Amino acid sequence: MNANPVLTDIRLTAALTTQEAAARRWTELRALVEEDQRAYYQRDAPMVSDAEYDARMRELEALEAAWPGLAVADSPTQRIGGSAGTGFAPADHVERMLSLDNVFSLDELRAWASKVERELVEEDAETGFLSEVKIDGLAVALLYENGVLKRGATRGDGRTGEDVTANVRTIACIPERLGGDPSTHPALVEIRGEVFMANADFDRLNAELVAAGHAPYANPRNTAAGSLRQKDPAVTASRHLRMYAHGIGALHWAHGEHENLDRQSRAYELFAGWGIPVSPHNRVVRGVEACLDMVEYYGKHRHDIEHDLDGIVVKIDALADQQRLGVTSRAPKWAIAYKYPPEEVHTRLLSIEVGVGRTGRATPYAVMEPVLVAGSVVRQATLHNQDVVRAKGVRIGDVVVLRKAGDVIPEILGPVAALADDGFPRSDWVMPAHCPECGTALRPMKDGDVDLRCPNARSCPAQVRGRVEHIGSRGCLDIEALGAVTAAALTQPSVPDVPPLVTEAGLFDLTLEQLLPIEVVVRDAETGAPVEENDGTHRRRTPFRKRATYTKAGRAAALQDGEVLPEWVPAAQAVTLLDELERAKTKDLWRQVVALNIRHVGPVAARALADWFGSLAEIQAASVEELSAVEGVGPTIAAEVAAWFAEGWHGDIIDAWRLAGVRFATPGHPGPEAMAANLASGSSVVDGPLAGKTVVVTGSLENYTRDGAKEAIIQAGGKAAASVSKRTDYVVIGANAGSKAAKAEALGVPILDEAQFAALLQR
Ligand code: IVH
């Protein structure tokens, strides 16, 4: 499989310099595209991703442009969609059902618009466009005679489709009789539209299938297509299909032309008046820039609407202009589809590796041939655990469907069944029995757990690396120079053999002498595989030192004085790291508690513990009961804290850090007894303008980040809560606040704007 079909194919095409070679490639492509079309239109089981199909069509078009002799009448480029399919009675469309031409970039979309505008030589300032969401479903033509539904048909080859009337009649939103004023009903009208399955209905259907022990469907489009082409209309009826109208075919009025019908948008209004659903997302706009805005908007909000979409369709709104521009053999010249980068692609599964994280969990992940999906190159996807690998039914060597919805993490959906026998070697994968990083036997943490863990928490290099990286993170000691790369360099260097940090106990004792020699192998950010040099050795980096440079004069002077000039000097990174570690020793107690990597103890629980006990010694001395009595701690966290202190090697960490100068206390804190006495006497435990108050922040504030606002509330003695209730004292409202503002109003909770909030904090 090609890593990037678009690039590879265009390169291929460009290289074809003889007509004979071009014809050979053309024949090959035609066979592929025809097979793709049969799989897609007749079997509802595509073999290639939409992107690959589009790329093949584009290459065919490019070949035909270069060698016009190839553009024969029955080329797939000259035909529309699938031919009339199997099993259903043929239905001849009254007027031909066309397809759409595609563009894949904003520049191409602009170019299309300028060409159209040139041809129309519009006198008025800007062309009127109809900009629509491209629904990822399947096209139908509904034939109404005198307001009564006579036939529903699929597109087929554009002239003849399949008669699916019985199934169409089960779709609740398609009226049997047109509504509204009967005098507006044409003698005959073909309404074109897209049948689709809403994402919510698709998810529900899949949940039911899985609950009943069946395999889920791959995506809403194929499910909708399969559901509409069911032999048994009762099955179609159970699937909750929907439809939006997006076009007009034949139209015969009983009494001459309908007076107002001059625009496609006006036709939609008529349809809506008749009870035919029209997409609520359509926009009537002037000028192509507004269409580009729509492309941008839905690029970001692709998953915020009720159905899957794969592009934006731009149409000339005025029907007279549509007529003037006309059609090609397969598509109108007055409309174009902008297609988003694909979110579902096919690629080859090369291997399944196992990674070990901070908590020791062993997670299998897929390594694939790199592939462009939804705008970025993906090589890896998590497979969670061995049960998930089994459930997905993937083998190494399979071509798999890879999905990346929006910003969401890439996910393998399963193998492409139609390509199971493509001759590529396959092998079954088995979960390794030992930790890939330290060789310890993997086991579940407790009986019945699916996840396997490496029990060598103390010195498994992967776990130490994870914990050290966590210590540097923003919600912990916030050490900028201690990120993922530095954590790996400190715990898994290629030089020296023994890492400076065998456990995190030595973190605050690091010295420049220890850092300088460190060399690390550069790893690919996506696959984690070592990057090779041309000579087969691994590329290395020295993160903490750089080659010394000298001026000629400086070198000469030093040599004259008999000095030995060092070859290396510390890199800024080394100095910064040691500086930041030094400062971390006196940071807030709660940060130092988070740095211990106690399960379930993140910033919230750590603050609760630090605020009450005032020092690590007091936390350590507390019983499980005393710990769980603290507001915001509770029995689960209390048990984890106690269990953490009971582990011998954890004591070594505390001792070493304390010896290195980590403060582990809040200066001036009165201790837990005084806190309890205060609480009993009813006086406020903490002071500050928000002492004892619960505050919810919603929407975005100008001068505070989300975490910043939370921090300010806590600093002022208040509690930052996530949801509004009767017990909330204030709700602070920023821009684009959602339902929480309404809830506050309904409950009569005082509402503050940002300025009032700032004033309150100042008090
Ligand atoms: S207009 C003559 N508008 O996309 C123009 N088509 O890839 C006919 N589609 O065959 C189509 N949403 O099935 C139009 N808002 C929309 C659409 C849409 C989805 C489908 C339609 C068409 C296919 C072309």
Q: How far apart are CA 236 and CA 88, in angstroms?
A: 15
Q: Does the pLDDT at position 499 exceed 90?
A: yes
Count other Cβ atoms within 10 Å, centred on residue 521: 18
Q: Which of these, 98, 79, 120, lies nearest to 319 by C-alpha position?
A: 120
What domains lie within the chain, and their CATH numbers? Answer: 5-70 (1.10.287.610), 90-339 (3.30.470.30), 461-582 (no CATH), 585-680 (1.10.150.20), 694-762 (3.40.50.10190)
Give the position of tokens 């099955």.
235
Q: Diameter of the chain by CA atoms?
A: 109
Tokens of 88: 């259903």
- Render pLDDT for 700-713 as a digit per residue (tens, 0 to 9): 999 898 888 988 89
- CA-nearest residue for atom 21, ligand 1, is 139
Predicted confidence at residue 4, as pLDDT, reads 36
134 is catalytic: yes
Residues 577-605 pLDDT 10s:
999 999 999 999 999 999 999 999 999 89
| pLDDT tens profile 101-134 | 999 999 999 999 999 999 887 555 678 999 999 9
Q: Could you give the residue ranges of the DSSP H alpha helices within 506-588?
A: 512-515, 552-560, 572-584
* Interval between CA 44 and ligand 1 midpoint (Å): 18
Token pair listed for 623? 């019983």
Residue reference for tokens 């821009």:
735
Bridge partners of 697, per DSSP, are 732
The DSSP call for residue 422 is S
How do strand 361-373 and strand 568-570 relate by DSSP bridges? unpaired
Among 79, 313, 323, 330, the mutation site with the greatest number of ligand 1 atoms within 8 A of its Cβ is: 313
What are the DSSP E strand ranges found in 125-167?
128-135, 138-145, 148-154, 160-162
What are the tokens at 518? 């460190």
Interatomic CA distance for residues 618 and 639, integer angstroms = 16
The ligand 1 site (C-beta within 6 Å) comprises 98-100, 132, 134-135, 139, 194, 246-247, 313, 332, 335, 337
Q: Which structure tokens are listed for 307?
A: 């159905």
> Which residue matches tokens 């290395």?
540
- Expressed in angstroms and rounded, the spacing between residue 100 Cα and the centre of ligand 1 is 6
φ, ψ for residue 142 (rounded to 5)?
Answer: -105, 125
Q: What is the pLDDT of residue 81?
A: 57
Q: Residue 475: name the closest of 715, 711, 656 by CA.
A: 711
Other Cβ atoms within 10 Å of 356 Cβ, number = 25
144 close to 275: Cβ distance less than 8 angstroms: no
pLDDT of residue 2: 36
Say what percent of the chain tops pLDDT 70: 94
Tokens 């988003």 belong to: 340
Strands 138-145, 188-196: pairing is: antiparallel
DSSP conformational letter for 327? B
Q: How far is the CA of 268 from the centre of ligand 1 (A)?
A: 15
Distance 371 CA to ligand 1 centre (A): 27
Mutational pocket test of ligand 1: of 53, 100, 140, 330, the residue with most ligand atoms within 8 Å of the beta carbon: 100
Residue 691: count of CB within 10 angstroms of its CB? 14
Q: Residues 727-752: what's their mean pLDDT?
A: 88
Query: Among the atoms of ligand 1, which is closest to the Cα of residue 331?
Result: 2
Q: Which residue's C-alpha comes closest to atom 7 of ligand 1?
A: 100
Distances (CA, A) of 455 to 32, 348, 633: 51, 33, 26
Q: Report how far residue 408's alpha carbon sits from residue 374's, in angstroms, rounded to the nearest whole number.
A: 10
Dump the DSSP string for 331-343.
Answer: SBTTEEEEEPPPS
Query: Distance between CA atoms of 657 and 620, rounded to whole angstroms?
Result: 15
Model confidence at 438, in pLDDT bands (50, 70, 90)?
Answer: very high
Length of the chain, in residues: 763
Q: Whose CA is nearest to atom 22 of ligand 1?
A: 99
Distances (CA, A) of 48 to 32, 45, 402, 620: 10, 9, 12, 60
Confidence of residue 363 (pLDDT cuts 50, 70, 90): very high
Q: Are 608 and 630 in contact (CB under 8 A)?
A: yes
What is the rounded CA–CA span in Å between residue 519 and residue 485?
A: 12
Under the banding of pLDDT at 50, 70 and 90, the label for residue 685 is: low
675 has pLDDT over 50 = yes
Q: Which two tokens stand for residue 528?
A: 């984690």
Average pLDDT over residues 474-491: 95
Report how far residue 348's alpha carbon sits from residue 368's, in angstroms, rounded to the nearest whole number.
Answer: 6
Query: What is the DSSP code (8-state) at residue 476?
Result: T
Backbone angles phi, psi at 643, to 5 degrees: -65, -35
**pLDDT computed for residue 348 by the predictor:** 96
Top mean-pLDDT range of 372-376, 413-417, 474-478, 675-679:
474-478
Residue from 451, 250, 242 nearest 361 by CA: 451
Q: Give the pLDDT mean for 636-655.
A: 97
379-400 pLDDT, tens digit each = 999 999 998 998 888 999 999 9
- Is residue 617 packed enough to be buried (19+ CB in 10 Å), middle (13-18) or exposed (0-12)? middle
Token match 């980068």: residue?
Answer: 341
193 CA to centre of ligand 1 in angstroms: 8
Q: Kindly give the distance from the C-alpha atom of residue 224 to the centroid of ligand 1, in angstroms, as a whole number.
A: 16
